[in-house]
Amino acid sequence: MLKGKTALVTGSTSGIGLGIARALAREGAGVMLHGLGDSAIIADLARSLADECGIPVATHDADVSRPNEVARLVADTEHQLGSVDILVNNAGIQFVSPVEEFPLERWSAIQDVVLKASFEAIRSALPGMKRKGWGRIINICSAHGLVASPFKSAYVSAKHGQVGLTKSVALEMAECSITCNAVCPGYVCTPLVEAQIENQAKVHGLPRERVIRDVILASQPTRRFVEVDEVAALVVFLCGESARSITGAAIPIDGGWTAR
Ligand code: NAD
């Protein structure tokens, strides 16, 4: 379905981003695997994805908290793989603290990696998409882009900001065959959530299984994690021609969390 297209997925060396990169590659898209981590492991991932799917795969380790590195990531993808037809802004970090004790540098880091990087990647990729008259921008947001939880003021603010950015870009690009949507997952079991499980187990003095059921998944009515593959399948759908009228949407995939 996506043969001939190229996808840049930020934060695709791990978790949800890796699942999205894999799903897009299986549909025939060339992929820029991006993120931090062990370069030998990432090179292996790239090789196995290219072998399995028969598509070009490149890797990049730009620090997306720095706008000039985000611009370089987009330019390098265009240079190495030919274009950025699909941009998935997925890189993210988390930090949890009561608002009055929230360290300013942690606050700023979350805004930079989640919101400022999405803005910079979008504005760097748009000229190329406009030239080709086609584009798909998907911001991997969160249920926390639609509703709040205590102690996550920075993350909730950045994710709500991403939803606003999504709507503005969608309106500006509405006549250019470029769609921009936000995908808003509930809890997905990835390294980012593993850290929260460990932390909550310590805070509440509870075993891991009880933390998952009674703390982490308390707001998710299905009481099960959303699967990486479910999020990836939604992204693939949004990249297809049948989704060309879906733009400016913030789509929950959260086991009913935001229906409450
Ligand atoms: P993860 O920790 O498994 O992956 C995060 C990715 O971002 C990694 O590839 C990492 O290298 C990259 N990254 C982080 N900071 C970076 C930086 N400064 N520069 C470059 N790369 C950087 O996390 P995940 O759970 O897969 O989360 C992916 C996205 O999904 C995030 O935006 C997160 O907010 C969102 N999300 C996650 C969940 C969940 O429950 N896991 C739920 C809703 C939304």
Give the CATH number, domain containing residue 96: 3.40.50.720
> Does residue 200 share a domain with residue 104?
no
Q: How confident is the model at residue 233 (pLDDT cuts 50, 70, 90)?
A: very high
- Among residues 9, 80, 66, the alpha carbon closest in space to that of 42 is found at 9
Mean of pLDDT values over 76-92: 98
> Does residue 197 share a domain with residue 85?
no
> Does residue 79 share a domain with residue 176?
yes
Pocket of ligand 1 (CB under 6 A): 11, 13-17, 35-37, 63-65, 90-93, 113, 140, 142, 185, 187-188, 190-193
Q: Is position 128 within any domain?
A: yes
> Does residue 54 share a domain with residue 142?
yes
Mean of pLDDT values over 195-219: 91
Assess contact for 228 and 199: CB atoms under 8 A. no
Would the pLDDT of 147 be above 90? yes
pLDDT value of residue 204: 87
Say how far apart CA 122 and CA 58 lie, in whole Å.
20
> Does residue 168 share a domain with residue 239?
yes
Atom number of ligand 1 nearest to Cα 113: 18
Distance of CA 179 from the midpoint of ligand 1 (Å):
22
Assess contact for 235 and 180: CB atoms under 8 A. no
Closest residue CA from atom 9 of ligand 1: 11
Q: Is position 1 within any domain?
A: no
Mean of pLDDT values over 44-71: 98
Of residues 7 and 199, more confidently modeled: 7
Name the average pLDDT for the chain: 97
> Does residue 177 share a domain with residue 199?
no
pLDDT value of residue 131: 98
Assess contact for 92 and 13: CB atoms under 8 A. no
Would the pLDDT of 257 be above 90? yes
pLDDT value of residue 58: 98
Q: Is position 118 within any domain?
A: yes
pLDDT value of residue 203: 87
> Does residue 220 share a domain with residue 116?
no
Mean of pLDDT values over 185-198: 93
Closest residue CA from atom 2 of ligand 1: 192
> Does residue 192 share a domain with residue 182?
no
pLDDT value of residue 161: 98
pLDDT value of residue 138: 99
Q: Is position 259 within any domain?
A: no
Structural domain that includes position 212:
188-225
Closest residue CA from atom 44 of ligand 1: 142
pLDDT value of residue 192: 87
Look up 187 and say whether it is catalytic: no
- Rounded (10°) CA dihedral 187, 29, 180, 64: 70
Distance of CA 227 from the midpoint of ligand 1 (Å):
15
> Does residue 112 share a domain with residue 194?
no
What's the predicted TM-score (pTM) here?
0.98
Q: Which of 20, 36, 224 to mutate to test the pocket of ligand 1 (most atoms within 8 A of CB)?
A: 36
Number of domains comprising the chain: 2
Distance of CA 192 from the midpoint of ligand 1 (Å):
6
Distance of CA 175 from the midpoint of ligand 1 (Å):
31
Q: Is position 260 within any domain?
A: no
In the set 9, 86, 88, 155, the catalytic residue is 155
- 87-128 pLDDT, tens per residue? 999 999 999 999 999 999 999 999 999 999 999 999 999 999
